[in-house]
Amino acid sequence: MQSHHILPNAATMAGLCPTQIGLVKLTEANGIARRADEILGFITAVIVVSALCSYFSIRNSLGRARGEMLERIADVAFIVGLIGLAVASLLFAHEWI
């Protein structure tokens, strides 16, 4: 069961995104901060979905099939959020967003 590994990492990443949003706010320049805020806000939502699905997969009492489905959703959301966070960080570092 992967959910035991996803949950703590997704929770950490969900805290990292608002931190990055705060850093973006410090550097506000020419509307760039707004676009970065929107991207990081979306990534935060994806990561929270991952954490919630992981949690509900662990706490699942509705059957194995439902637990596996929640775990797959958590996996996909976690990977999408991780890639999105990496891309947003790279774009922000190079001042492209």
pTM check: above 0.85? no
Token pair, residue 49, equals 């979905």
What pLDDT, on a 0 to 100 scale, did the predictor assign at position 32? 60
Q: Name the nearest CA neighbour of 10 among 47, 43, 57.
A: 47
| 47-70 pLDDT per residue, tens | 889 989 888 888 877 778 888 898
Token pair 């991952």 in the structure block, residue: 50
Mean pLDDT of the chain: 78
Split at pLDDT 50, 70, 90, the class of 37 is: confident
How much is the pLDDT for 33? 63
Contacts 24+ apart (CB under 8 A), 56-59: 57/1, 57/3, 58/1, 58/3, 58/4, 58/7
